[in-house]
Amino acid sequence: MKAIIFLAPPSAGKGTFAEYLKIKYNFESISTGNILRERALKDENLANLMKTGALISDEIILNIMKDKLATMKNDFILDGVPRTLNQAKILTNMLNELNIKFKVVYVNVDKDVLLNRVLGRATCPKCNRTYNLNIDAFKPLEDNICDDCKVSLVRREDDNEISFLKRLDEYNKNGEEVIKYYKSINNFNIIDNNSIDNTIAKKNLEEILNAD
């Protein structure tokens, strides 16, 4: 079994890549954000914290990861984790113990492009497919309705400018040492996803996936 760890700022396209690898290679995805959003439906404190864009404690995240990793049967993507150096180091141990090989992919996107994507992002509450109402190529066929599930799309509460800037700040603050760590263990790859047409980014991702 193998895993791809995406390191990427908010709205860099992780969800789109996860969808692509799911369709083409049957990859599963572990998104700590999705798991936490589900928990937050029943946990007001968690919901309020997430609304601000602040990070959730390493302890909670690592417990989630421990449980989730034990259930994986196919190759998978880690979307949104690790976000701190401590998470990264412990995650490496967990993956090694389970004999899961992993590659790290950093998705590079400029801040203004990210903000535009965040402000247009809408998600299907049933299948989690992500659309973008600001970008023609990523709009649903029918206004605000998921193409697959035919239910109304929802906007994330933290997809506003203030909480985006907070999330980006958190990402930049911790991201540097996480990147340094993966570079130090020779496991670091970069793809650029600034363009609306992500064909080249997908091709680069596949090259990384298929390289020895």
- The residues that touch ligand AMP, with contacts defined as CB under 6 A, are 10, 32-33, 36, 50, 53-56, 61, 80-83, 87, 158, 167
Q: Give the residue with the Cβ less far from ligand AMP, 45 or 199.
A: 45
CA gap 73, 77 in Å, rounded: 12
Min separation Cβ 212 and ligand AMP, Å: 29
Question: What residue is closest to ligand AMP based on CB?
Answer: 33
β-strand partners of 108: 192
Q: Give the residue with the Cβ less far from ligand AMP, 87 or 193.
A: 87
Min separation Cβ 33 and ligand AMP, Å: 2
Q: Give the residue with the Cβ less far from ligand AMP, 13 or 80.
A: 80
Min separation Cβ 87 and ligand AMP, Å: 6
Q: Give the residue with the Cβ less far from ligand AMP, 51 or 103.
A: 51
Ranges of beta strands (E only) in the chain are 2-7, 28-31, 76-79, 101-108, 121-123, 130-132, 189-192
Q: How many CA atoms, within 13 angstroms, populate the side-chain half-sphere of residue 160?
A: 7
- Name the helix (H) or strand (E) containing 139: none
Min separation Cβ 173 and ligand AMP, Å: 12
Min separation Cβ 98 and ligand AMP, Å: 18
Ranges of beta strands (E only) in 37-147 are 76-79, 101-108, 121-123, 130-132
Where b means 16+ CB within 10 Å and e means fewer, 112-121 reads ebbbebbbbb
Give whole-number Cα distances, 46 to 41, 52, 171, in Å: 9, 10, 19
Q: Give the residue with the Cβ less far from ligand AMP, 50 or 153.
A: 50
